[in-house]
């Protein structure tokens, strides 16, 4: 369900970027100075953003690399939200309220994407696996140290017994 809006709206923006390009202009223009490889045309940036949203949305919906897909969508959602729902710049109270709701809707979707990014599908996280491996390694190391101490102690006792027997 989370993926559907990204597939549909991403594809729409890919096919018809001219509808949202004027809204994206205030976000895209400053990026041109910071990132020389960024698309010079705002419509190209909107197309790329739409393509990423549609493709990653399809991947998320189909369960193909869902964490990576959710991360890609989250990365596109930030500029989309900042460009399309700048409620703080709107004077008309009614339009401002509409854009604030859209902004908060996108913020809510970002929360869902963050949950999808963190979801391991029932498998332990990398952090858990690291801690578990450390515990196992520590138990083996402790057992090995204990065994070596016992062997060394027995060797010392045997050497001492041999020395005492040799002195007599």
Helix, strand, coil percentages (3-state) for the chain, rounded to 5, are 85, 0, 15
Q: Are residues 138 and 107 in the same domain?
A: no
Question: Half-sphere exposure of residue 75, counting CA atoms within 13 Å on the CB side?
Answer: 12
Residues in the chain: 168
User: Looking at the 3D structure of the chain, how many domains does it have?
Assistant: 2
Q: Are residues 67 and 12 in the same domain?
A: yes
Q: Are residues 138 and 92 in the same domain?
A: no
Domain that holds residue 108: 4-118
Q: Are residues 28 and 84 in the same domain?
A: yes
Q: Are residues 105 and 136 in the same domain?
A: no
Longest dimension (CA), the chain: 108
Q: Are residues 28 and 66 in the same domain?
A: yes
Cα gap 17→10, rounded to integer Å: 10
pLDDT for res 74? 96
Q: Are residues 153 and 80 in the same domain?
A: no
Distance of CA 68 to the CA centre of its chain: 7
Q: pLDDT 10s digit of each residue in the chain, 168 long?
A: 889 999 999 999 999 999 999 988 888 888 777 887 878 888 999 999 999 999 999 999 999 999 999 999 999 999 889 888 989 989 999 999 999 999 999 999 999 999 999 887 777 777 778 888 888 888 888 777 777 776 666 777 777 777 777 655
pTM: 0.69
Q: Are residues 36 and 92 in the same domain?
A: yes
pLDDT for res 151? 67
pLDDT for res 152? 66
Q: Classify the C-alpha dihedral 93-25-70-63 as positive or negative.
A: positive
Q: Are residues 67 and 144 in the same domain?
A: no
Q: Are residues 113 and 131 in the same domain?
A: no
Q: Are residues 99 and 150 in the same domain?
A: no
């Amino acid at each position: 369900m989370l993926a559907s809006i990204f597939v549909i709206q991403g594809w729409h923006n890919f096919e018809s970027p001219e509808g949202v390009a004027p809204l994206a202009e205030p976000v895209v223009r400053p990026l041109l100075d910071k990132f020389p490889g960024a698309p010079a045309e705002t419509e190209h940036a909107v197309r790329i953003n739409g393509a990423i949203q549609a493709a990653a949305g399809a991947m998320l919906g189909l369960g193909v690399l869902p964490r990576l897909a959710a991360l890609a969508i989250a990365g596109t959602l930030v500029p989309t939200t900042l460009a399309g729902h700048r409620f703080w710049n709107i004077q008309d109270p009614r339009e401002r309220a509409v854009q604030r709701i859209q902004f908060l809707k996108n913020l809510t979707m970002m929360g869902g994407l963050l949950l999808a990014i963190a979801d391991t599908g029932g498998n332990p996280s990398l952090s858990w696996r690291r801690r578990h491996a450390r515990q196992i390694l520590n138990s083996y190391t402790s057992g090995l140290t204990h065994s070596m101490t016992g062997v060394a102690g027995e060797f010392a006792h045997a050497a001492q017994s041999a020395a005492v027997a040799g002195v007599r």
